[in-house]
Amino acid sequence: MEETLNTINYALAGFVVIFGSILGYIASLFIRFNNLKKDEEILSDQD
Amino acid sequence: MKDKPKLLTVLDGVTLVTFLAATAMVFFYAPTERVMGAVQKVFYFHVAAGWVGMVSFFVAAVVGVIYLIKKSPNMDLIGIAAVEIGIIFTLINIVTGAIWARPIWNAWWTWDPRLTTATIMELVYIAYLMLRQGIDDPERRARFGAVYAIVGFLSVPLTFFSIRIFRTIHPVVIGGSDPSAVGAFDMTPKMFQTLMFSIVVFSILFIDLIWHRVRLGKFQNYLEELKIKLQV
């Protein structure tokens, strides 16, 4: 019977990539939205 | 800019709860694979991310066709949103695959047909974003983007079927593997349920993200129009 490999570090790295990428994309949406809100305020002041 | 729809807020909640449930299933419900150990658990989200990547590019191609027929700016917004999300999830798929491969194949990377076609697919869609950046006229940008999304979609079935057409060491999850595949395993019912649930959850996440990204695109367009109006 084959021995189970100790691959916990690789599993952790994999989940860091998965959660980090998804959270990073959500953060990018949030930051872009906030920047647009600021632009909107500036433009409405000029209006 | 319109307020956030209530349905989107509900979808955000459903996405969060189901995502946490899928994560709990991966860690506590699905058994640990006997030979590969903990790294096999990455497989559930690796496959689900690959699924979302391909679905995203399919959506981009379909809305590309609709855009060319109807010239609706909303279709262009959905197209760019789908490609952006597809790139993120395909990247997750490729990187987690490399992390899984290191202890199982004893190599981070090999120019196997699946890995190669997936990388080409990713690069094709990164080039889509670069193409759009290079075109100033919004109508022309949308038209070129639509055509590119349709032609670029050829890379998706090539990637999907690569492990079924070519001799490869990449395991086939559903259906028989090539005998030379390394790292294949028989899924137990609990593993299969976890995989299917992960795919459903990632599909919900995709709908949620695309909705947010389309709203962002609409906001951008609204501000562009406002800027032009103020200049006049």
Each of the 232 residues of chain B gets a pLDDT tens digit; together they read 678 899 999 999 999 999 999 999 999 999 999 899 999 999 999 999 999 999 999 999 999 999 999 999 999 999 999 999 999 999 999 999 999 999 999 999 999 999 999 999 999 999 999 999 999 898 999 999 999 999 999 999 999 998 888 887 888 876 655 566 666 777 899 999 999 999 999 999 999 999 999 999 999 999 988 888 888 6
How many C-beta atoms lie closer than 10 Å to residue B158's C-beta?
15
Element (H, E) at A45: helix A8-46
Q: Where are the domains of chain A?
A: 17-47
Of chain A, the end-to-end C-alpha distance in Å amounts to 76
Contacts 24+ apart (CB under 8 A), B129-138: B129/B83, B129/B84, B129/B87, B132/B80, B138/B73, B138/B224
Q: Domain residues for B50? A: 6-169+205-231
Question: Tokens 């599993």 sit at which residue?
Answer: A11
Q: For residue B28, is it within any domain?
A: yes
Total of domains in chain B: 1
Count of A-B CB contacts under 8 Å: 90
Contacts 24+ apart (CB under 8 A), A36-41: A36/B1, A36/B216, A36/B219, A36/B220, A36/B223, A37/B1, A39/B223, A40/B1, A40/B219, A40/B223, A40/B226
Least CB–CB distance from B36: residue in A5, A26, A32: A5
Residues in A touching B223 (Cβ below 8 Å): 36, 39-40, 43
Q: For residue B179, is it within any domain?
A: no
Q: For residue B225, is it within any domain?
A: yes
Task: Using CA coordinates, name the residue in chain B closest to A44.
Answer: B226
Burial classification of residue B181, based on how many CB atoms lie within 10 Å of its CB (0-12 exposed, 13-18 middle, 19 or more buried): middle
Residues of A with CB under 8 A from a CB of B: 2, 4-8, 10-11, 13-15, 17-18, 21-22, 25-26, 29, 32-33, 36-37, 39-40, 43, 46-47
Contact A29 B102 (CB under 8 A): no
The pair of three-digit structure tokens given for residue B189, joined into one six-digit string:
């019912």
Residue A20 is which amino acid? G
Question: Tokens 């909640």 sit at which residue?
Answer: B13
Q: For residue B1, is it within any domain?
A: no
Reported pTM:
0.93
